[in-house]
Amino acid sequence: MALLIQKFGGTSVGNIERIHRIAELIERTCQTGNQVVVVLSAMSGETDRLWRLAHDVTPHPDARELDVLLSSGERVTIALLAMKLRSRGINARSFTGRQVGIVTNSSHTRARIAKVTADPVRRALAEGVLPIVAGFQGVNERSEVTTLGRGGSDLTAVALAATLQADRCVIFTDVDGVSTADPNVVPTARRIPKLSYEEMLELSSLGAKVLQARSVEFAAKYSVPVEVKSSFQEGEGTLVTHEDVDMERAVVSGVTGDRNQAKITVVGVPDQPGIAANLFGAVAGASVLVDMIIQNVSHQDSLTDISFTVPRNDLARAMALVKRTANEIGARSVEVTEKIAKVSLVGVGMRSHSGVASRMFQTLAREKMNIMMISTSEIKISCVLDEENLNKAVQALHKEFGLESPRETGKIH
Ligand code: ADP
Ligand code: ASP
Ligand code: MG
């Protein structure tokens, strides 16, 4: 008998009819003799709606209260599904994050999991009860409600799978798996049958929201096999697991785009030791993740410009700190460009292949797109562009690297 975690995203519980459908799917899984723990998101659009409500009340809502509000969406779906299953004669019971013992730190709206006890879930399973757990939420050590960042139900599912040592964590969503690009941007994108944690983590961190990046990090750390598949149609999905020998060593596995970017330029900074440490120390202190950084060669007057990118959601927080530090270090001004985006290529085969970057730059040049910033790692290359070029860039690169046809593969090393 296998223990499976089945997580259903927002569209899969988006209305009552869909809740009926997943109740049937869950019932079928239980009938095959497997033990199941279900994790649910809020109905699609609900977390955004609650976020807007809070910001209609006040532009800077209190973070503790915001989490109380945001976590309510998942309470609705777990109760509705438990009712539905019970009406079909299945002994289902809903659990909030607090009830299953998901303990986090106190960083409201982006809390990190510190501990998962899951004892009530274990007890429920032992009694033959089907647990339906609210995703995206936990409590801090003072029992105050926290949320795990957008897409955080994926993390709840993976964390429960790790704690309960489940055989698999299945993420049901509105696409048939992880593809070579977002199928809503590139209709010819192909499903990738198997991916390593490392590649998936890059894809997620670089904008493929099909899995939350932190959930992939967690899955890799605890070796949780994660399967992404459609809740709307039967069929294979994508298995995310440790790299193994029968995995395709694609030079490029996928193309991804990220609009959640903004560029800050500090103009006229004295070109002397300690300046970058001051500037980035202040930003890091506020838990804002700086991604790409460019420092220009200094002008004749020993002044330079430093540009860097931050998540657009964190721009206001970052700007407050950067302006203050820029003042202290005597910089001339601070400029912001919001309408930028990042396009990235990911593939473990890049480790052993050269020439991918130049081919990427040539493709973007052919499309007459200006590259503002570049960053690379062993298995990815990212370019920052004007936001309006993003979809076209993703489509052009997807074509250039032959991702819709059988893939270019590199040697296994
Ligand atoms: P859920 O509500 O089920 O959690 P999400 O909206 O969070 O679903 O994630 C699924 C979406 O991720 C898809 O609808 C798709 O538009 C998007 N997506 C982005 N990149 C990819 C990719 N490489 N492969 C598959 N889907 C992707
Ligand atoms: N409802 C939350 C969100 O929309 C969590 C999730 O769906 O994973 O971000
Ligand atoms: Mg999601």
pLDDT in tens, 136-147: 999 999 999 999
Q: pLDDT value at position 411?
A: 39
Domain with CATH 3.30.2130.10 in the chain: 256-400
Which ligand does the CA of 185 lie closest to?
Answer: 1
CATH 3.40.1160.10 domain extents, the chain: 3-173
In this prediction, residue 298 carries a pLDDT of: 74
Q: Residue 412: what pLDDT?
A: 34
Which residues line ligand 1 at a C-beta cut-off of 6 Å? Answer: 9-12, 41, 151, 173-175, 178-179, 181-184, 203, 208-210, 254
What predicted TM-score, i.e. pTM, was given to this entire model? Answer: 0.93
Which residues sit with their C-beta closer than 6 Å to ligand 2?
9-10, 41-42, 47, 73, 135-136, 150-154
pLDDT on residue 410: 44
Ligand nearest to the CA of 232: 1
The answer on pLDDT for 226 being more than 90 is yes
Question: Residue with the nearest Cα to atom 17 of ligand 1?
Answer: 210
Nearest CA to ligand 1 atom 4: 9
Inter-residue contact 103 to 145 (CB < 8 Å): no
Determine the Cα–Cα distance for residues 137 and 342; give it in Å rounded to an integer.
Answer: 29
pLDDT of 289 reads 86
Fold (topology level) of 256-400: VC0802-like (3.30.2130)
Pocket test for ligand 2, best of 5, 41, 212 (most atoms within 8 A of CB): 41
Mean pLDDT of 53-63: 94
**Nearest atom in ligand 2 to 44's CA:** 4
- Take atom 9 of ligand 2 and give the residue whose Cα is closest: 150
Q: What is the pLDDT of residue 413?
A: 32
Identify the band that residue 405 occupies on the pLDDT scale cut at 50, 70 and 90: low
79: CA distance to ligand 3 center in Å?
20
Tally Cβ neighbours within 10 Å of residue 257. Answer: 25
pLDDT in tens, 272-309: 888 888 889 888 887 788 989 998 877 767 889 999 99
Query: How many percent of the chain have pLDDT more than 90?
Result: 83
Instruction: State pLDDT tens for residues 388-402.
Output: 999 999 999 999 999
Fold classification of 3-173 (topology level): Carbamate kinase (3.40.1160)
- Give the residue-averaged pLDDT of 105-124: 96
